[in-house]
Amino acid sequence: MTTEALDTAVAELPLDDPRALAAVSLIWREAHLLDSRRYEEWDGLWASGGEYVVPIDREATDFASRLNLVYDDDRMRRMRVERLTGGFSISAAAAARTVRSVSRFVVTGREDDAIEVCSAQILVGYKREETLVLAADVTHRIVFTEDGPRIARKIVRLVNSEDAVTASGFLL
């Protein structure tokens, strides 16, 4: 790797910024909780007013005026967690087992109390004797509160977002 390429890589994930490292650590913790189906703990990672979005249009930025696969505020996210943990819905009765890998972290925005990190996610899910592989570009907006870093917004831009989507039984 050339010195210039190394300088660019360090600038994209500034290792001397403890907020960047805290954000990446939170994102990895989130992945672990989701793969472990610890959805209530996952919900605890969110800041008040946090948005969880899976847009159909990968280029969309105004999610409120567009059709999305998922567009959850606090209330909707908690209802989704209830369905996954309650045992009364098809998604809970046959929940998929998942393993995800999150990598390629790039800091794309910084403010005094927040940082934006883009990454790549590969998720392998297994449900009803079928294996599903999903790839996505993910953007997390992490805010720093008195209680530590929290997810203020998570946007999951699936590579195949415009294809037919079947009920998955897991969170992205």
* Domains of the chain as residue ranges with CATH: 3-158 (3.10.450.50)
> What is the three-class DSSP state of 154?
strand
Cβ neighbours of residue 101 under 8 Å, at least 6 residues apart? 31, 121, 122, 123
How confident is the model over 100-129, as a mean pLDDT?
A: 94
6, pLDDT greater than 70: no
pTM reported for the whole predicted model: 0.87
How confident is the model over 41-59, as a mean pLDDT?
A: 95
170, 95 Cβ separation under 8 angstroms: yes
Can you tell me which residue has the tokens 């390629």?
Answer: 104
Question: What per-residue confidence (pLDDT) applies to 1?
Answer: 44
At residue 94 the predicted structure's pLDDT band, cuts being 50, 70 and 90, is low
Run of H or E residues at 122 = strand 114-127
Q: Cα torsion for 49, 76, 153, 64, to the nearest 10°?
A: -90
At residue 166 the predicted structure's pLDDT band, cuts being 50, 70 and 90, is low
Per the DSSP assignment, residues forming a β-bridge with 110 are 115
> Distance (Å, rounded) from C-alpha 150 to C-alpha 48?
9
Cβ neighbours of residue 131 under 8 Å, at least 6 residues apart? 124, 125
User: Within 13 A of 32's CA, how many CA atoms are on the CB side?
Assistant: 8
Least confident of 8-17, 54-63, 128-137: 8-17
How confident is the model over 131-150, as a mean pLDDT?
A: 95
CA angle 16, 152, 87 (to 5 degrees): 125
User: Among 105, 81, 99, 97, which Cα is nearest to 20's?
Assistant: 105
How confident is the model over 7-25, as a mean pLDDT?
A: 77
